[in-house]
Amino acid sequence: MTVGKVWAGLFVGAVIALGYALTVNPGITASVFGASPPQANHQSDPTADAAMNRPATPPKDPAKSVADPSGETAAGKPERLQTIRANTVSLQGKALTRWQEWREGVERLSREQPAQVYIGGDPSGKRLCLTFDDGPDGRNTPQILDTLRQKGVLATFFVLGEQASTYPQVVKRVEREGHLVASHSYSHPHFTKTGERSIRSELSRTEETLRGITGKRPALFRPPYGDIDKAVLPVLEHSGYRAVLWSLDTFDWDHKRPEEIAAYVIENARSGDIILMHCGGNGAATAKALPVMIDGLRQKGYAFVTVAEMLAVDAYQ
């Protein structure tokens, strides 16, 4: 045997041995070329999560699950929604800036006072709240009630006291058909620009009006314009109210077409959302949008509950 054949035999043997080693332990490949073997990445990808409109999943401590004031459990799972989204395409410049500042203030207040100020509900189930402000009236509210009855949906109506006194039969129908009747003040003022005495009057007059119609005192209140701050909260609490705002604003009052309102809600709704709409004189487009909206949300697997059920709080005092 020649020397060349000996060296060839040794080379072939080395290659076969190396191939077997790589098959048994792929990490050797990286070691051979001077690099560490690749590790499996089981962490959440923040970029992908952002694209899917959800936060990156934080590491969980299974020993902790107590809710904190931020609205999240110590394990990182949201207890309820704490952010507000809205169809603000019509807002520009200073108007958009003011809205963003308002949103930041309300979200901060809800984090600081989670038992008193609510924005959204539990995101772990496929449930939504349809809520209607500024009613009742004699046209749009009855049309909305007709749709809700036909679709078998329960909703929450934040009622104005002066409107209730004008349309008591509509309020009776709202309550009779199983919907939640809540307070939206008597005359729709800015509460942060109203003195304590006036706020108490707005609350008590609405309460007396609704109790005279339904026999019940509401325990849930939505501030007109979403106008609320730390100075307003003690007055509400003393009167027995929790403040309920919203996590999804349709801007249905802002010259929106019915198909635009329905499409926005169907596309943007997320589990736990409290959806803001109107049923007074500013609710004509919503009344027309509602059937398509409900059908589209049901096709996506959502069920509908009242605000009290979503938040697990008392509806009445």
pLDDT at residue 78 in the model: 55
- Considering the chain, what percentage of its residues have pLDDT values greater than 90? 75
Q: Which of 255, 266, 263, 278 is nearest to 302 (CA)?
A: 266
Q: Which residues of 274-286 are buried (b: 16+ CB within 10 A; e: fewer)?
A: bbbbbbbebbbbb
- Tell me the pLDDT tens digit for each residue of 152-178: 999 999 999 999 999 999 999 999 999
Stretch 198-215: mean pLDDT: 97
Instruction: Count how many Cα atoms sit within 13 Å of the Cα of residue 55 in the half-sphere of its side chain.
Output: 11
The catalytic residues are 133, 278
pTM: 0.77
Q: If you average pLDDT over every residue of the chain, what do you get? A: 82
Mean pLDDT of 195-223: 97
* Cα separation, 21 vs 262, whole angstroms: 62
Q: If you average pLDDT over residues 114-134, what whole number do you get?
A: 97
Count of all residues that appear for the chain in the document: 317
Q: Quick count: other Cβ atoms within 10 Å of Cβ 61?
A: 11
pLDDT 10s digits, 71-95: 444 444 458 999 999 999 999 999 9
CA distances from 205 to 55, 185, 312 (A): 43, 8, 26
pLDDT of res. 44:
31
Choose the CATH number for 85-311 among 3.20.20.370, 3.40.710.10, 3.90.25.10, 3.90.1300.10.
Answer: 3.20.20.370
Higher pLDDT, 285 or 5: 285
